[in-house]
Amino acid sequence: MTLLVLWDTEVGRLELTDERSRAYAFRYTHPRRDARAISLALPVREQPFDSAESRPFFEALLPEGVVREQIAHELRLDPMDTYGLLERLGRDCAGALQITPDDAPAVDPDVRWLDGEQLDELVEQLPRRPLGMRAGDRRMRLSLAGVQRKAVLVRDDDGRFGEPLDGMPSTHILKPDPLDSELPGLAVNECFCMRLAARCALLVAPVELIEAADRGCLVVERFDRDRATWPPARVHQEDLCQALGLTPAFKYQHADWRLPSYGALADLLDRHSPQPGVDRLLAARAAVFHFLVGNADAHAKNIALLHLPDGVRLAPLYDVVATDAYPHLGSTLAMAIGDELDPARIGAAHWSDLAHDFGLQPRAFEHVRRALARRTVAEARRLRAEAHAEGWHDPVVDTIVETITARAAQVA
């Protein structure tokens, strides 16, 4: 069986090259010069991309860790069988692509709308229903990378939630607070950091806090969906690992690895963005913001690039969590500032190196980062006061504000 890779129309095919190992190759169907590349690491060409070349992009379309194992168990597949998982789940991936068997019957996208009780039930069953999938329900064919338990849903203009069926583009991600106590206030933590980033003039995916099944839940609007039409239109994107040709196992930078890095991100933006200076500055400010809030998990899969008609642009921030609020997670940075991964050791020389990595003049960037530090402190205090007034404050917010205040001095 061949899997079609669709971007409105067929752009390529995945073909199994070894039944035993489940290795596969990707090839473009119409390798014209003006054809659209699905990844910066997979430029349009006539020759197929072998398994080693194809895996980094397609592997990253699937969930990671325990969530992937659960889904594979439910589908009676080997968790390592990327080809088989994409065959079953590829109708709604991150970005604009849909992956479907070439002999699959045509179906119309649909939604199973949920009332309040049904949404509560979905949240309660999420540990047993990864991504909100129903046991044995072949109409739910969706995939989303990551390790956190979440539900992938459709939301209409009235705020109603529904389960996407038969390839309906999902529009929102719902992340409930975990039931264990290891990450208390996680939904509030991410909501606070995301809203704070927006107040500091960073590009951010819109977020909202709701309650379902007596638990706080963060609702994130997908930036790779255009809700101006119905069904929503897909917008293509890829994460930094995919763009660099790295599998998800390499999403964290290590001292002896050249990739991933902020310098590599800047190079991609220089070569493919229609406004590279704007995007490089946005990315550099985002790196400073992650440091300020204590987000040590800003790895290469949490940085994305949007494929737009005029080129590749930096995508809005997502998955911004102050991980330093949970000491057991560790504080080592996911991406080095300068050549340093220990936040306690970062000083003026490392900030200067970061400026060079992004092609910025260090003295000018010094003013930018100091201004961002002052603004982040001020806005964090205002947002904390609003959280109290609006009833969504959690002790984790106080911890985040303390971290920001301490690190602002280090940035300056």
pLDDT at 141: 47
Mean pLDDT computed over 129-133: 60
Mean pLDDT computed over 339-354: 96
User: Per-residue pLDDT tens for 61-100?
Assistant: 998 888 888 888 888 999 999 999 999 989 889 999 999 9
Mean pLDDT computed over 292-314: 97
User: Per-residue pLDDT tens for 214-246?
Assistant: 999 999 999 999 999 999 999 999 999 999 999
3-state DSSP percent of the chain in helix, strand and coil, to 5: 40, 20, 40
pLDDT at 131: 56
Structural domains of the chain sorted by starting position, each given as residue range(s) with its CATH number in brackets: 2-101 (no CATH), 110-225 (no CATH), 234-411 (1.10.1070)
DSSP assignment string, 348-383: HHHHHHHHHHTT--HHHHHHHHHHHHHHHHHHHHHH
Query: Picking from 253-257, 293-297, 381-385, which range would have the lowest pLDDT averaged per residue?
Result: 253-257
Place of tokens 């709604």: 92
User: Per-residue pLDDT tens for 202-217?
Assistant: 999 999 999 999 999 9
Residue 144 in this model has a pLDDT that exceeds 70:
no
Structure tokens at 162: 């529904």
Mean pLDDT computed over 103-131: 87
Residue 270 in this model has a pLDDT that exceeds 60:
yes
What value does the mean pLDDT of the chain take? 92
- Give the whole-angstrom CA distance, residue 371 versus residue 161: 40
pLDDT band at residue 328 using 50, 70 and 90 as cut-offs: very high
Percentage of the chain surpassing pLDDT 90? Answer: 82
pLDDT band at residue 34 using 50, 70 and 90 as cut-offs: confident
- Give the whole-angstrom CA distance, residue 230 versus residue 268: 33
Torsional sign, CA 387, 160, 91, 268: negative
pLDDT band at residue 140 using 50, 70 and 90 as cut-offs: very low
Cα 138 from chain centre: 25
Percentage of the chain surpassing pLDDT 70? Answer: 95
pLDDT at 150: 87
> What residues are annotated to the active site?
297
pLDDT at 10: 94
Residue 145 in this model has a pLDDT that exceeds 70:
no
The side-by-side arrangement of strands in the sheet containing 237-239 is: 237-239, 304-308, 311-314
- Contact assessment for residue 412 and residue 373, using Cβ atoms and an 8 Å cutoff: yes
Query: How many residues are given for the chain?
Result: 412
The type of residue at 411 is V
Q: DSSP state, 365?
A: H
pLDDT at 179: 81
pLDDT band at residue 132 using 50, 70 and 90 as cut-offs: low
pLDDT band at residue 133 using 50, 70 and 90 as cut-offs: low
- Give the whole-angstrom CA distance, residue 214 versus residue 366: 45
Mean pLDDT computed over 126-140: 58
